[in-house]
Amino acid sequence: MSSPLTPMVEVTNLHKAYGPIVALAGVDLSVQPGEVVSVIGGSGSGKSTLLRCINYLDPPDQGVVLINGNRIGDGGPHVPERILRKHRAEIGMVFQSFNLFPHMTVLQNVIEAPCAVRGTPKKEAIELAYDLLASVGVRDKAESFPSELSGGQQQRVAIARALAMKPQVMLFDEPTSALDPELVGEVLNAMKQLAREGMTMLVVTHEMDFAEEVSNRVAFFSEGKIVEVGAPKEVLRNPQHPRLQAFLSRLNSH
């Protein structure tokens, strides 16, 4: 995929190890503005670590992360906290376990970061929050606490909370893996809508139908590396790498 535009996310030669366990063994990936890239692979293959290294929740040991052309750090793990905060403010992240703030209402969850980090006036932040909550279908839950919501509703609030920072890119770390099967659809729909609106998205997922339908590209992770990447139909229907073939046949045998 060639583009004259600066990639929204560009990672080069990313390495990360946790003690003796190598999670990333030299990852290169670039995501164009407006592109949706799904990352698939077995558990422990390093796909979640990739997301956590992009926003430096886990600083990479080595390698370069560029967000919209801006380089984070100097290729090492030590970056000043102040710079990381600026960096993270541009990157929305949605977690498998939602991680809403349980002591705050839905509305407070959504306005906390814009007010604190961006300095958005409260009134403005509330208006934006209501719009975002409406767009993910939970506007009527604004005054509820997370514990009063279903998992699917919580995850949609988490998406709205991330969007409230007006990020340039959204990272999704297995956003539907903790949900009851009947609640998966509502979260995927919210993500599909976001993709249609042109958000740049990097999605770690086990939802192959979603990956095929919504992504521009699919990347297959194995042993800390991207071993195959390409158009969803190619990667999922006509896999070349033996490990990808084995991975997909394991999925289909269920």
Give me the residue label for tokens 């949609």. Answer: 156
CA atoms lying within 13 Å on the CB side of residue 164: 35
Rule CB under 8 A: choose which of 17, 57, 208, 231 binds another protein: 57
CA atoms lying within 13 Å on the CB side of residue 102: 5
- Residue closer to another protein, measured from CB, 116 or 134: 116
- Residue closer to another protein, measured from CB, 130 or 145: 145
- Residue closer to another protein, measured from CB, 71 or 103: 103
CA distances from 134 to 93, 95, 139 (A): 19, 21, 5
Interface of this chain with another protein, residues 59 to 118, rule: CB under 8 A: 81, 84-86, 88-89, 91-93, 95, 97, 99-103, 112-113, 116-117
Cβ 158 vs Cβ 97: under 8 Å: no
Closest CA to 83 of 56, 106, 107, 46: 56
- Residue closer to another protein, measured from CB, 2 or 147: 147
- Residue closer to another protein, measured from CB, 161 or 217: 161
Interface of this chain with another protein, residues 149 to 168, rule: CB under 8 A: 161-162, 165
DSSP class of residue 137?
T
- Residue closer to another protein, measured from CB, 87 or 217: 87
Q: How many helices (H) and strands (E) does the chain have?
A: 9, 10
Compute the least distance from the CB of residue 236 to another protein, in Å: 29
Compute the least distance from the CB of residue 199 to another protein, in Å: 16
Compute the least distance from the CB of residue 100 to another protein, in Å: 8
Rule CB under 8 A: choose which of 139, 145, 231, 243 binds another protein: 145
| Phi, psi for residue 13 in degrees, rounded to 5 | 50, 45
Compute the least distance from the CB of residue 86 to another protein, in Å: 7
Give me the residue label for tokens 């992360």. Answer: 65
Compute the least distance from the CB of residue 92 to another protein, in Å: 8
Interface of this chain with another protein, residues 223 to 242, rule: CB under 8 A: none
CA distances from 239 to 36, 198, 249 (A): 20, 28, 10
Binding residues for another protein, rule: CB under 8 A, are: 55, 57, 81, 84-86, 88-89, 91-93, 95, 97, 99-103, 112-113, 116-117, 145, 147-148, 161-162, 165
